[in-house]
C-alpha cells in the first residue's frame, strides 16, 4: 500500500468498528419507525449507512459516474441481519479498494455528472474522504439520534455517551 493511504485506511478501520457498534443497537422490531413523516425509517437509514463503504468504493473505482439513473431512496430492510451483512460486505470491499489504490489512481480526478452536466470533480482520494468517510459519519450521527428517541442505549463513539462511559 502506498504511504499516503495508510492514514485513510486506519481511520476507516477505526470508524467502521464504531459504526458496527451503532448498527448492532438497531432494534429489529422498530425497522419501520420514523421520527417524522419526511424522514427515512430506522431500517432505511441503517441500511443506507451500512451500504456507504461498499457503494462508495464501487463508485470511486469509476472515473466518472452519471447519477441520472441512480436511486437515492434506500430500501426497507427485512431484518437486522440484512443490515449487518451489507455493512460487513461493504467494509471488506472498501478496505480492498483503498489498499489496492496506486498513487496515480488515488490522485486522479473523479467526476460526477447528471445527464452530461458536471456536478463535482475532485481527486479520487477526496471522494473517499467526503463521500465515504464524512458521509458515513453524518448518517451514523443521525442514527444515534433515532436510537436515543427510541430509548435505545447509545454506544460510545468519541468518548462517553449518556449511556456508556469508557473513562470510569
CATH of the domain at 46: 1.20.120.450
Instruction: Assign 3-class secondary structure to 37-96.
Output: CCCCCHHHHHHHHHHHHHHHHHHHCCCEEEHHHCCCCCCCCCCHHHHHHHHHHHHHHHHH
pLDDT in tens, 81-134: 999 999 999 999 999 999 999 999 999 999 999 999 999 999 999 999 999 999
Q: Is residue 34 part of a domain?
A: yes
Q: Is residue 118 part of a domain?
A: yes
Q: Is residue 68 part of a domain?
A: yes
Q: Please tell me the predicted confidence (pLDDT) of residue 61.
A: 94
Contacting residues for 119 by C-beta, under 8 A, at least 6 apart = 67, 112, 113
Q: Is residue 168 part of a domain?
A: no
Q: Is residue 163 part of a domain?
A: no
Q: Please tell me the predicted confidence (pLDDT) of residue 143.
A: 98
The SS3 call for residue 157 is coil
**Domain of 85, in residue numbers:** 3-149
Look-up of cell digits 461498499: 54
Q: Is residue 121 part of a domain?
A: yes
- In the chain, the number of structural domains is 1
Residue 146 has pLDDT above 80, yes or no: yes
CA gap 8, 123 in Å, rounded: 14
Q: Is the Cβ–Cβ distance between 135 and 52 less than 8 Å?
A: yes
Pairing of strands 64-66, 117-123: unpaired
Q: Is residue 25 part of a domain?
A: yes
Q: Please tell me the predicted confidence (pLDDT) of residue 112.
A: 95
The SS3 call for residue 1 is coil
Q: Please tell me the predicted confidence (pLDDT) of residue 36.
A: 97
Say what the pTM is. 0.95
Amino acid at each position: 500500500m502506498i504511504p499516503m493511504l495508510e492514514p485513510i485506511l486506519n481511520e476507516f478501520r477505526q470508524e467502521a468498528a464504531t459504526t458496527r457498534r451503532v448498527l448492532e443497537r438497531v432494534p429489529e422490531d422498530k425497522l419501520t419507525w420514523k421520527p417524522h413523516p419526511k424522514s427515512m425509517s430506522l431500517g432505511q437509514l441503517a441500511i443506507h449507512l451500512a451500504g456507504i463503504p461498499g457503494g462508495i468504493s464501487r463508485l470511486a473505482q469509476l472515473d466518472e459516474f452519471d447519477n441520472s439513473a441512480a436511486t437515492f431512496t434506500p430500501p426497507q430492510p427485512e431484518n437486522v441481519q440484512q443490515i449487518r451483512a451489507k455493512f460487513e460486505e461493504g467494509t471488506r470491499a472498501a478496505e480492498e479498494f483503498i489498499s489496492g489504490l496506486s498513487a496515480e489512481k488515488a490522485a486522479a480526478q473523479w467526476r460526477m455528472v447528471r445527464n452530461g452536466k458536471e456536478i463535482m470533480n475532485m481527486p479520487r482520494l477526496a471522494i473517499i474522504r467526503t463521500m465515504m468517510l464524512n458521509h458515513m459519519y453524518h448518517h451514523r450521527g443521525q442514527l444515534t439520534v433515532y436510537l436515543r428517541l427510541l430509548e435505545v442505549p447509545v454506544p460510545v463513539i468519541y468518548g462517553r455517551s449518556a449511556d456508556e462511559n469508557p473513562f470510569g
